[in-house]
Structure formats: C-alpha cells, structure tokens
C-alpha cells in the first residue's frame, strides 16, 4: 500500500523499485523535505 502523497511533494517525486526519490533537478523546501522523509519512512516500514 502506498501512503497518501501530500500536495507539497506531488509531482516532485518518483517511485523506483522499493523506494521513492526526488526527481532530477528538483530542490525541496524544508517543509517539502520533511514530508518526503515521512513518506520515505512509511514506505520502508511497510517493507518489513
């Protein structure tokens, strides 16, 4: 299951095999980085 992706990072991320990354050339603001970190943590916790 994929967690809900917030509006702040929608369109700025890319899903790859078992992970999520920031698209090339995109710089996240501190707020976006926090949301991205939470999303990535949620994805990794579901793998276990």
* pLDDT value, residue 31: 95
pTM attached to this predicted model: 0.80
Model pLDDT for residues 1-48, shown as the tens digit of each residue: 567 788 889 999 999 988 899 999 999 999 999 999 999 998 888 655
* pLDDT value, residue 48: 56
Question: Whole-angstrom Cα distance, residue 15 to residue 1?
Answer: 13
**Residue found by looking up tokens 């949301």 in the block:** 35
Question: Whole-angstrom Cα distance, residue 47 to residue 31?
Answer: 25
* pLDDT value, residue 43: 86
* pLDDT value, residue 24: 95
């Amino acid at each position: 299951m994929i967690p809900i992706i917030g509006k702040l990072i929608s369109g700025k991320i890319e899903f790859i095999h078992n992970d999520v990354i920031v698209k090339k050339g995109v710089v996240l603001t501190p707020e976006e980085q926090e949301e991205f970190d939470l999303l990535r943590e949620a994805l990794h916790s579901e793998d276990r």
